[in-house]
Structures are given as structure tokens and as C-alpha cells.
Structure 1
Amino acid sequence: MRTLPRVVLALAVVGALLLVTVWLVQRRLIYFPDRSAVGPAAGAVVGGRDLLLRTSDGLTLGAWLVPPSGVEDRRAAVLVAPGNAGNRQHRVPLAVALAAEGFTVLLFDYRGYGGNPGSPTEDGLARDVRAAREALLDQPGVTADRVVYLGESLGAAVVTELATEHPPAGLVLRSPFSDLAAVGSAHYPWLPVRLLLKDRFPVADRIAHVDAPTVVVLGTADTIVPPEQSRTVADRAARLTRVVTVDGADHNDPSLVAGDAVVRAVVEVTPV
């Protein structure tokens, strides 16, 4: 019995050390950047053009502008906010599919991704997407009332926050989570995620204040973002147009990455 207090103390110390470690490295569990530099836009997609974004805290980020390639030019642009992994090279199929439908497309990388300086944080990504929007609006013929935001997973949180300040013509949220703590708790149920989390991304709370036609796209077999969380976001949306359900699709299924469901959703929320 004398050893019991020592065991309890040892377990408490181990637990405390674990929590401190998680606190210190938590962003490594959230953001998975491909930091390698990408080549020029023209080498990745026909007609692509390189852009430089200037953030409000002094960073210079890389981006690609992809012109419409279809017969029809919709005179509308799509700002693509990526998820938490890879870089803009991995979003080329999506840009190609949207360009074929007559859209101008901006692909950009957050700080710390695609050879960009800095490290990703919630505040940093908010600055990055604002720099992307400003650069897009600087392009000839692009106006704020013809810009659609498309966010994938983490990017859905990023564009939802942007939309509370700068409402788009339309908003497409692909595989959104209700908030970062909720999806973290789903993967680490043994951790006090809400207590530890630095970055919050409260999508379900923010979408209730977004005045823009909104489509939510989800996969029923998503193992990263539970489908019920995407449905929660849809339920909270102030101007929900439709929920697009892709049966059997996991988080990175091609049908969700650059498939017809996503492209049609963008077309749906774009003003005629």
C-alpha cells in the first residue's frame, strides 16, 4: 500500500509531461505542409501565371492564377483555400476542372507551405487568405461580386472566417468540420483537446453569420472529418443552398478533390 501514492504520483507526472508535450507540438499534429518549392505556374497548368501575395504581417507568398480554358468565360473567379497538407501543385486537377467550366482560379499556399516563409497558425492563415483575395481582386476584370470561395477541410474554416468580413458571391465548403476541437477530439478522445488547443477555427459558429449562398459537400465515408460535423455546419449556415453527399467517399477521394460534385457546387453558387 505504501507504493500506491508513488504510483499515483508517477502517473500524474507522466500525464503532465504528456500534456505539456502535446501543448508544445500540437501544431505539428494539425498542419502537414509540403514545404518544397513549386515550379512556375506555366509548367504546371496551361496558361498559368505566377503571382506574389503580400500579407499584412510582411510575408511574401507564392500563388498561381489559372485562366478559364473552356468555351465559356463566366467572368467569375474562384479563390481556392487548401486543406492542411500538400501544396498548390496538388490542387492543379481542381484548377483545371474549374477553368474548363469557364472560371478564373487562384491557387495559393499558406505560410510554411510550397516554399513559403513562416509557420502556419489560425491568425496567420487568416492573413494569408486576405492577401490572396486582394491579389485576385487586383486582376483585370475580377470584381468582388463575382468571386466564389472554395475551401477544402481546413480551408473551409479559413474561407468561412474570411466570409464573415468579406462576403463572397458564393461559398463552397468541402468536408468542413464544426470546429477544430471537435475534429481533434474525434481523433484523440483521450486528450482534453478543448483545453489544450491554440487554434480554434469555429466554423459552425461563424457560418451562421455569413450572408452568401452556401453549398456543403461531404463524403459519407470520411475518416478525417466525421460526416456529421459537415452536416452540423450545413445546419448552421445562414444561407444554405444545398448539401451535396458523395456516397462512399473518404476525405481525399478523387470525387471530393476535383470531382464533378465540387465543380457543380461552384457553378451552382455563382451568379448568372
Structure 2
Amino acid sequence: MVRLGLIAVSVVLLLLALAWGFQRQLIYLPDTSAVTAGAGVEDVVLETSDGVRLGAWLVPARAPDRGVAVLVANGNGGNRAGRVPLAQALAARGLTVLLFDYRGYGGNDGSPSEQGLARDVRAAQRYLAAYGVPPERTVYFGESLGAAVVTELATSVAPGGLVLRSPFVDLASVGKVHYPFLPVRLLLRDEFPVAERLAGVKAPVAVVYGSADSVVPPEQSRSVAEAAPTLKDLVEIRGADHNDAELAHGPPVVAAVVRIADQL
């Protein structure tokens, strides 16, 4: 019995060690393929504070130009090519849009981490400021993990508005849903505490989520909304799952961004 117990403990310790060592491969799911800009999309390069060069696309506003930019922070999967429909829909409503890929995504060098993504989104914000759009005329749009990325940015560089699509309370809270057998909170190196950080954000906030989201539970997105001291909009898209087109770039999402932009 003692021997069996030691074997069981050894197996558990091995599993915990593997979860610790490979956790970022479970969190970040990049499409590393290099991507090519299509018609109406301008190729730009961002440079982070630690010297990583990131591929990005600027999608100019179509008339009438509102003089507002949307900085889009992606979720943990794919690359910026999958966000073009959103950018085109926003551009058609008079908004300039910046799409970019994190380090390790879309042919970029480097490996993603919470600290690395914070550097990446700051490079995107600096580009828009140099382009002529100040933070107070910029809407930060974050998709899932990207909601955590832009919320952290908003605590140091205040935007005109913040739109969070499918946000989670923090990474441990959503991790526990998918890995209930692991002590997720103890193991995580990247925390992404969205609700905690959002409490200090003074910009107007909109939260958009799907009622059938199987990745980020809807109640977590509602909890994030409750944490926002300046919540202006809470949009539930009934029946939408995490990666459904309606939740990715459908009319309710675009309308939520436009409503925030109209307040700037």
C-alpha cells in the first residue's frame, strides 16, 4: 500500500510539473503563419520596448471619418487575419482600425507571456498616437484574452472607451472551468486579473458576450461588467458561442463599439 501511495504521489507531482512547465502552450494557441494584407489594408510594423518587431495592419476609416481609432487586441488563438471582417465592418462605420499580432503570432518573433503582451499592446497604442490619434480618441477593443490585455493598458494609458468581448474575471477563474482537476491558481504564471484591474478604469466600458459561450462562461463576463465603475453598455448575444461569427464581428458587436465611439 505504501508503495502504491508513493507511485500515486509521484504521478500527481509529475502531472503538476508538466502543467507548470507547459502551461503557456495551453494558454496561447498562435497561428504562426505569416499573413499578407489584402486590399484596403496597410501593412505597418510595430516595435516593442524590448525590441520585438510586430506585424500589424491599419484599416483606414471610410467616409464619414469619425476621427476615432479602434485598437484591437486579439484572443489567444489564430492571428490578425481572422479579425479582418471586424476591422472592415468598423471601418465602414467611419472608424480607423489597427490590427496587430502578439509576439509568437502571425510570423512574429518571440514567445507570448502576460508581460510580453503588455509590451506588444503598448507598441500598438504608441503607433496610433504617432499616427495622430490620441488615447482619448481611441477605443480599446479586447477579445477574450485580449480583454485582459487592453484592460491592463487602460490602467496606465487611459483610452476614450473600452469594449470587452467575452471577458473573464481572471485567467485562473476560466482555467478552473476547463481544468477542474488542477490547482490552477497556484500554478499560473500569467494571471490577467481583468475584473480587479477594471475597477480602476475611468473610461466608459461596454461588455459584449454570448449566452452560449463554452470557453468563457457568460456569468464571468457579467461579473466583469459588474466590476466596471463606468459601465455604459452590456450586450448579450443570445445563443452565441465563443467563436461564432455573430460574436466575433456581427452587428451587435460593431454597434457596441460605435456607441462607445459616439461618446468621445
TM-score, normalisation: structure 2: 0.98
State the AA in 2 paired with 1:119: S
Select the structure of larger CA radius of gyration.
Answer: 1
1:152 matches 2:143 = yes
Partner secondary structure for residue 138 of structure 1: helix
2:61 maps to 1:68? yes
Query: Structure 1 counterpart of 2:19, which letter?
Result: V
Match of 1:7 in 2: 4
1:88 aligns with 2:85: no
Count of residues in correspondence between the two structures:
263
**Residue in structure 2 matched with residue 24 of structure 1 by the alignment:** 21
* Inter-partner Cα distance in structure 1 for 2:206 and 2:6: 51
SS of structure 1 residue aligned to 2:151: helix
After superposition, give the CA deviation of every residue in 1:17-63 in whole Å (9 maximum; x if it has no partner): 00001100000100000001111x2xx2x321111111011111110
The answer for the alignment partner of 1:184 in structure 2 is 175
Q: Could you say what secondary structure the match of 1:195 adopts?
A: helix
Aligned letter for 1:13? S
Equivalent-residue separation in structure 2 for 1:98 and 1:137 (angstroms): 19
The percent identity for this pair of structures is: 62
| Residue aligning to 2:44 | 51
Mapped pair 1:34 → 2:31: yes
Please report how far the alpha carbon of residue 226 of structure 1 lies from its aligned counterpart in structure 2 after TM superposition. Answer: 0.4
Structure 2: which amino acid aligns with 1:165?
S
Distance in 1 separating the partners of 2:172 and 2:149: 15
Output the TM-score relative to the length of structure 1.
0.95
* Matches of 2:52 and 2:143, distance apart in 1: 23
Mapping for residues 108-257 of structure 1, pairs under 5 Å: 108-140=100-132, 142-257=133-248
Aligned partners of 1:25, 1:75: CA distance in 2, in Å? 43
**Partners in 1 of 2:44 and 2:124 — Cα distance?**
9
Q: Which amino acid aligns with 1:105?
A: V
What secondary structure, in the 3-state scheme, does the structure 2 residue paired with 1:165 have? coil
Q: CA RMSD in A?
A: 0.8
Matched letter for residue 26 of structure 2 = L
Deviations 1:68-117 (A, max 9, x none): 12x31111100000000001111100000000000000000000000000
After TM superposition, give the deviation of residue 143 of structure 1 in Å: 2.2
Corresponding position of 1:266:
257
Return structure 1 stretches of 4+ with deviation > 4 angstroms. none
CA drift at 1:144: 2.0
SS in 1 for 2:207: strand
Deviations 1:127-181 (A, max 9, x none): 00000000111114x2222100000000000000000001110100000000000
User: How far is 1:232 from its partner?
Assistant: 0.6
Cα distance in 2 between the residues matched to 1:145 and 1:23: 39
Letter in 1 for 2:49: S
Q: How far has the Cα of 1:220 moved from its partner?
A: 0.4
Instruction: Supply the distance in 2 between the matched residues of 1:137 and 1:51 (Cα, whole angstroms).
Output: 14
Give ranges in structure 1 of 5+ residues lacking alignment. Answer: none
